[in-house]
Amino acid sequence: MVDPAFDTLTGPMPDPTRPPFLLGDIVRLSRPHPCGGDTWLVDRLGADLGLRCQGCGRHVLLARATVERRLAGFVSHGDPALTAAVDPFTAGDHP
């Protein structure tokens, strides 16, 4: 029997319950930054996400799994066209 969550050409398929991040997203994390800010701009995508604090401008790289675990919610969504232009391989993952 074939497992529908596994594609033999590309390996395991992504988990559909994972939140799709776009460049330019503003996210709120459960823990505040030491400056007091709790909103972050997503400015890099990949295995690590680049986040810029909206309070002080500090840039950090966090593992995607860490961001997904600490995510309290999206404040605003970024532009899918910008994300597709930068990362064409994940362009079909976002509505």
Rounded Cα distance, 84 and 35, in Å: 32
Sequence spans of domains, the chain: 24-79
Per-residue pLDDT tens listing for the chain (95 residues): 455 555 566 666 666 666 789 999 999 999 899 999 999 999 998 889 999 999 999 999 999 999 999 999 999 998 888 877 776 555 455 44
Question: DSSP assignment of 22-89, as one string?
Answer: -TT-EEEESSPPTTS--EEEEEE-SSEEEEEETTT--EEEEEHHHHHHHEEEEEE---HHHHHHH-GG
pTM above 0.85, yes or no: no
